[in-house]
Amino acid sequence: MNILAVGDVVNESGLRFLRNKLRSLRRMTEADFTVVNGENACGTGILPRQADEILDAGADVITLGNHAFRRGEIKPYLEDCPRILRPLNYAPQVPGRGWAEFDTPFGTVLVVNLIGRCDMDFGPDNPFLAVDRLLKERKAAFTLVDFHAEATSEKLAMGYHLDGRVSALWGTHTHVQTSDGAVFPRGTGYITDLGMTGPAVSVLGVRPEQSVSMFLGNPHVPFTGAPGPAKLECAVFTLDETTGKCTGVRALRIEE
Ligand SMILES: [Fe+2]
Ligand SMILES: [Fe+2]
Protein backbone atom coordinates (compact mmCIF):
# COMPACT_ATOMS: atom_id res chain seq x y z
CA MET A 1 0.00 0.00 0.00
CA ASN A 2 1.37 3.41 -0.95
CA ILE A 3 0.70 6.54 1.09
CA LEU A 4 1.21 9.92 -0.54
CA ALA A 5 1.79 12.78 1.91
CA VAL A 6 1.85 16.31 0.46
CA GLY A 7 3.53 19.29 2.16
CA ASP A 8 1.72 22.48 3.24
CA VAL A 9 -0.35 23.96 0.40
CA VAL A 10 0.38 27.69 0.28
CA ASN A 11 -1.97 30.27 -1.24
CA GLU A 12 -3.88 30.08 -4.52
CA SER A 13 -0.62 29.21 -6.29
CA GLY A 14 -0.30 26.00 -4.28
CA LEU A 15 -4.00 25.21 -4.60
CA ARG A 16 -3.95 25.66 -8.37
CA PHE A 17 -0.87 23.44 -8.78
CA LEU A 18 -2.35 20.80 -6.48
CA ARG A 19 -5.61 20.80 -8.48
CA ASN A 20 -3.63 20.39 -11.70
CA LYS A 21 -1.21 17.72 -10.50
CA LEU A 22 -2.59 15.64 -7.67
CA ARG A 23 -4.52 13.07 -9.69
CA SER A 24 -1.62 12.39 -12.06
CA LEU A 25 0.76 12.30 -9.09
CA ARG A 26 -1.47 9.75 -7.39
CA ARG A 27 -1.34 7.61 -10.54
CA MET A 28 2.41 8.05 -10.98
CA THR A 29 3.18 7.06 -7.39
CA GLU A 30 0.46 4.37 -7.32
CA ALA A 31 -0.88 6.04 -4.20
CA ASP A 32 -3.71 4.27 -2.41
CA PHE A 33 -4.26 6.96 0.20
CA THR A 34 -3.37 10.65 0.14
CA VAL A 35 -2.94 13.15 2.98
CA VAL A 36 -2.44 16.86 2.23
CA ASN A 37 -1.49 19.53 4.75
CA GLY A 38 -3.72 22.55 4.07
CA GLU A 39 -2.95 24.99 6.88
CA ASN A 40 -1.63 27.69 4.52
CA ALA A 41 -4.27 27.51 1.80
CA CYS A 42 -5.06 31.19 2.34
CA GLY A 43 -1.60 32.11 3.59
CA THR A 44 -2.43 31.63 7.23
CA GLY A 45 -5.44 29.39 7.59
CA ILE A 46 -7.86 27.65 5.30
CA LEU A 47 -11.37 28.52 4.10
CA PRO A 48 -14.15 25.95 3.64
CA ARG A 49 -14.05 26.48 -0.13
CA GLN A 50 -10.32 25.72 -0.16
CA ALA A 51 -10.78 22.58 1.93
CA ASP A 52 -13.41 21.44 -0.59
CA GLU A 53 -10.94 22.11 -3.41
CA ILE A 54 -8.17 20.05 -1.77
CA LEU A 55 -10.55 17.12 -1.22
CA ASP A 56 -11.92 17.45 -4.77
CA ALA A 57 -8.34 17.49 -6.08
CA GLY A 58 -7.86 13.96 -4.73
CA ALA A 59 -6.87 14.22 -1.07
CA ASP A 60 -8.40 11.63 1.24
CA VAL A 61 -7.59 13.70 4.33
CA ILE A 62 -6.49 17.27 5.08
CA THR A 63 -4.25 17.92 8.07
CA LEU A 64 -3.61 21.33 9.61
CA GLY A 65 -1.29 22.99 12.10
CA ASN A 66 -0.62 26.20 13.98
CA HIS A 67 -2.58 28.26 11.44
CA ALA A 68 -5.67 26.02 11.60
CA PHE A 69 -7.88 28.67 13.21
CA ARG A 70 -6.57 31.89 11.69
CA ARG A 71 -9.74 31.95 9.61
CA GLY A 72 -12.70 31.35 11.88
CA GLU A 73 -14.90 30.37 8.93
CA ILE A 74 -13.37 26.89 9.08
CA LYS A 75 -14.65 26.08 12.58
CA PRO A 76 -18.06 24.62 11.58
CA TYR A 77 -16.40 22.79 8.68
CA LEU A 78 -13.99 21.14 11.13
CA GLU A 79 -16.96 19.95 13.19
CA ASP A 80 -18.94 18.69 10.18
CA CYS A 81 -16.32 17.16 7.87
CA PRO A 82 -14.54 13.98 9.05
CA ARG A 83 -11.84 14.40 6.40
CA ILE A 84 -10.09 17.40 7.92
CA LEU A 85 -8.01 17.22 11.10
CA ARG A 86 -6.57 19.84 13.42
CA PRO A 87 -3.84 18.95 15.92
CA LEU A 88 -4.92 16.34 18.46
CA ASN A 89 -3.10 17.96 21.36
CA TYR A 90 -5.04 21.23 21.32
CA ALA A 91 -7.29 22.01 24.28
CA PRO A 92 -10.45 19.87 24.49
CA GLN A 93 -12.81 22.78 23.73
CA VAL A 94 -11.12 23.46 20.35
CA PRO A 95 -13.51 22.64 17.45
CA GLY A 96 -12.89 19.65 15.24
CA ARG A 97 -10.95 16.43 15.71
CA GLY A 98 -7.31 15.39 15.84
CA TRP A 99 -7.65 11.90 14.43
CA ALA A 100 -9.93 9.91 12.17
CA GLU A 101 -10.18 6.35 10.86
CA PHE A 102 -10.86 5.46 7.23
CA ASP A 103 -11.87 2.15 5.69
CA THR A 104 -9.74 1.13 2.73
CA PRO A 105 -9.49 -2.13 0.75
CA PHE A 106 -6.28 -2.82 2.72
CA GLY A 107 -7.78 -2.26 6.16
CA THR A 108 -8.41 0.64 8.50
CA VAL A 109 -6.15 3.68 8.22
CA LEU A 110 -5.85 5.85 11.33
CA VAL A 111 -4.63 9.38 10.59
CA VAL A 112 -3.37 11.59 13.42
CA ASN A 113 -2.40 15.27 13.37
CA LEU A 114 -0.07 16.46 16.15
CA ILE A 115 1.56 19.81 16.84
CA GLY A 116 4.95 20.37 18.45
CA ARG A 117 5.73 22.66 21.38
CA CYS A 118 9.19 24.02 20.50
CA ASP A 119 8.89 27.59 19.15
CA MET A 120 5.19 27.24 18.46
CA ASP A 121 2.52 29.91 18.94
CA PHE A 122 1.05 28.75 22.23
CA GLY A 123 1.18 25.83 24.59
CA PRO A 124 -0.63 22.74 23.41
CA ASP A 125 -0.60 19.53 25.42
CA ASN A 126 2.46 17.31 25.31
CA PRO A 127 2.20 15.64 21.86
CA PHE A 128 4.21 12.60 22.99
CA LEU A 129 1.77 11.83 25.80
CA ALA A 130 -1.28 12.74 23.69
CA VAL A 131 -0.36 10.27 20.96
CA ASP A 132 0.44 7.59 23.57
CA ARG A 133 -3.06 7.95 24.99
CA LEU A 134 -4.64 7.73 21.54
CA LEU A 135 -2.63 4.68 20.46
CA LYS A 136 -3.67 2.87 23.63
CA GLU A 137 -7.30 3.31 22.62
CA ARG A 138 -7.15 2.91 18.83
CA LYS A 139 -5.70 -0.02 16.92
CA ALA A 140 -5.72 0.24 13.15
CA ALA A 141 -4.04 -1.77 10.41
CA PHE A 142 -2.11 1.37 9.38
CA THR A 143 -1.42 4.51 11.39
CA LEU A 144 -0.20 7.74 9.80
CA VAL A 145 0.98 10.81 11.70
CA ASP A 146 1.50 14.40 10.50
CA PHE A 147 3.65 16.03 13.17
CA HIS A 148 3.44 19.78 12.60
CA ALA A 149 6.50 21.12 14.36
CA GLU A 150 9.36 23.58 14.09
CA ALA A 151 12.26 21.78 15.75
CA THR A 152 14.02 18.97 13.90
CA SER A 153 14.90 17.49 17.31
CA GLU A 154 11.26 17.30 18.37
CA LYS A 155 10.28 15.66 15.09
CA LEU A 156 13.12 13.12 15.19
CA ALA A 157 12.38 12.33 18.82
CA MET A 158 8.73 11.72 17.92
CA GLY A 159 9.90 9.42 15.10
CA TYR A 160 11.82 7.27 17.56
CA HIS A 161 9.06 7.51 20.17
CA LEU A 162 6.56 6.06 17.70
CA ASP A 163 8.94 3.74 15.84
CA GLY A 164 7.26 0.37 15.43
CA ARG A 165 3.91 1.72 16.67
CA VAL A 166 2.87 3.71 13.58
CA SER A 167 3.30 2.99 9.87
CA ALA A 168 4.55 6.43 8.86
CA LEU A 169 5.28 9.76 10.47
CA TRP A 170 6.15 12.92 8.56
CA GLY A 171 6.90 16.46 9.62
CA THR A 172 5.22 19.58 8.27
CA HIS A 173 5.36 23.33 9.08
CA THR A 174 8.92 24.26 8.12
CA HIS A 175 8.13 24.15 4.37
CA VAL A 176 11.64 22.98 3.41
CA GLN A 177 11.91 19.37 2.28
CA THR A 178 14.51 17.36 4.16
CA SER A 179 16.63 14.56 2.68
CA ASP A 180 16.39 12.19 5.63
CA GLY A 181 13.50 9.99 4.51
CA ALA A 182 14.14 6.54 5.99
CA VAL A 183 12.61 3.46 7.53
CA PHE A 184 13.39 3.52 11.25
CA PRO A 185 14.71 0.36 13.00
CA ARG A 186 11.31 -0.95 14.09
CA GLY A 187 9.56 -0.26 10.81
CA THR A 188 8.16 3.27 10.88
CA GLY A 189 8.62 5.38 7.75
CA TYR A 190 9.94 8.82 8.62
CA ILE A 191 10.85 12.20 7.10
CA THR A 192 11.53 15.38 9.08
CA ASP A 193 9.70 17.66 6.65
CA LEU A 194 7.73 17.07 3.46
CA GLY A 195 8.33 20.60 2.14
CA MET A 196 5.57 22.76 0.67
CA THR A 197 3.25 23.15 -2.28
CA GLY A 198 3.27 26.69 -3.64
CA PRO A 199 5.46 29.37 -5.20
CA ALA A 200 8.95 28.04 -5.94
CA VAL A 201 10.72 31.41 -5.72
CA SER A 202 9.69 32.43 -2.22
CA VAL A 203 10.58 32.29 1.45
CA LEU A 204 8.26 29.50 2.62
CA GLY A 205 5.63 30.82 0.15
CA VAL A 206 6.03 34.53 0.90
CA ARG A 207 7.49 37.11 -1.53
CA PRO A 208 11.25 37.06 -0.83
CA GLU A 209 11.57 40.86 -0.61
CA GLN A 210 8.93 40.97 2.14
CA SER A 211 10.70 38.35 4.20
CA VAL A 212 14.04 40.12 3.70
CA SER A 213 12.45 43.40 4.80
CA MET A 214 11.17 41.79 8.00
CA PHE A 215 14.58 40.34 8.79
CA LEU A 216 16.16 43.74 8.14
CA GLY A 217 14.09 44.94 11.08
CA ASN A 218 11.38 46.94 9.31
CA PRO A 219 8.11 47.10 11.24
CA HIS A 220 4.71 45.96 9.97
CA VAL A 221 5.82 44.24 6.77
CA PRO A 222 2.77 42.74 5.04
CA PHE A 223 3.24 39.20 3.78
CA THR A 224 1.70 38.21 0.46
CA GLY A 225 2.06 35.09 -1.62
CA ALA A 226 4.93 35.10 -4.11
CA PRO A 227 4.14 35.07 -7.85
CA GLY A 228 5.67 32.75 -10.41
CA PRO A 229 5.77 29.02 -11.04
CA ALA A 230 4.83 26.57 -8.31
CA LYS A 231 6.31 23.37 -6.93
CA LEU A 232 4.77 20.44 -5.10
CA GLU A 233 6.79 18.58 -2.48
CA CYS A 234 5.71 15.28 -0.98
CA ALA A 235 6.80 11.84 0.16
CA VAL A 236 5.60 8.36 -0.69
CA PHE A 237 5.61 5.68 2.01
CA THR A 238 5.31 2.07 0.91
CA LEU A 239 3.64 -0.04 3.59
CA ASP A 240 3.59 -3.80 3.98
CA GLU A 241 -0.03 -4.88 3.84
CA THR A 242 0.36 -7.74 6.32
CA THR A 243 2.46 -6.05 9.01
CA GLY A 244 1.43 -2.39 8.52
CA LYS A 245 5.11 -1.47 8.65
CA CYS A 246 6.96 0.70 6.17
CA THR A 247 9.34 -0.76 3.63
CA GLY A 248 10.38 2.36 1.75
CA VAL A 249 10.24 6.17 1.80
CA ARG A 250 10.73 8.38 -1.23
CA ALA A 251 10.67 12.19 -1.19
CA LEU A 252 9.56 13.88 -4.41
CA ARG A 253 9.33 17.36 -5.89
CA ILE A 254 7.39 18.39 -8.98
CA GLU A 255 8.05 21.79 -10.51
CA GLU A 256 6.05 23.85 -12.95
FE1 LIG B 1 2.77 25.68 6.95
FE1 LIG C 1 2.62 25.75 10.38
Residue 121 scores a pLDDT above 80: no
| Centre of ligand 2 from the C-alpha of residue 67, in Å | 6
Residue 93 scores a pLDDT above 80: yes
Average pLDDT over residues 242-251: 98
Query: CA dist 76 to 65, 71, 84, 114, Å?
Result: 17, 11, 11, 20
| Centre of ligand 1 from the C-alpha of residue 106, in Å | 30
Q: Active site includes 161? A: no
Amino acid at 136: K
| Centre of ligand 1 from the C-alpha of residue 199, in Å | 13
| Centre of ligand 1 from the C-alpha of residue 195, in Å | 9
The dihedrals phi and psi of 30, each to the nearest 5 degrees, come to: 50, 45
Percent of the chain with pLDDT over 70: 100
Residue 220 scores a pLDDT above 90: no
Contacts of 237 (CB under 8 A, 6+ apart): 2, 3, 5, 144, 167, 168, 170, 189, 246, 248, 249
Residue 122 scores a pLDDT above 80: no
Residue 84 scores a pLDDT above 90: yes
**pLDDT score, position 26:** 98
Average pLDDT over residues 24-42: 98
Average pLDDT, the chain: 97
Contact 41, 71 (CB under 8 A): no
Ligand nearest to the Cα of 8, by number: 1
| Neighbouring residues of the ion ligand 2, judged by CB less than 5 Å | 65-66, 173
Contact 59, 36 (CB under 8 A): yes
Average pLDDT over residues 125-142: 97
* Helix, strand, coil abundance in the chain, percent, nearest 5: 25, 30, 45
190 - beta bridge partners? 169, 182
From the list 148, 146, 109, the residue with the least C-alpha distance to 31 is: 109
| Centre of ligand 2 from the C-alpha of residue 38, in Å | 10
Q: Which domains can be identified in the chain, with CATH numbers? A: 2-255 (3.60.21.10)
Contact 192, 152 (CB under 8 A): yes
| Predicted TM-score of the model (pTM) | 0.97
Ligand nearest to the Cα of 194, by number: 1
| Centre of ligand 1 from the C-alpha of residue 45, in Å | 9
- Of these residues, 67, 148, 173, 175, which one is catalytic? 67
Ligand nearest to the Cα of 40, by number: 1
Residue 29 scores a pLDDT above 80: yes
**pLDDT score, position 4:** 98
Contact 236, 4 (CB under 8 A): yes
Ligand nearest to the Cα of 43, by number: 1
| 30: alpha, beta or left? (left if phi > 0; alpha if psi -120 to 50) | left
CA distance 32 to 143: 14
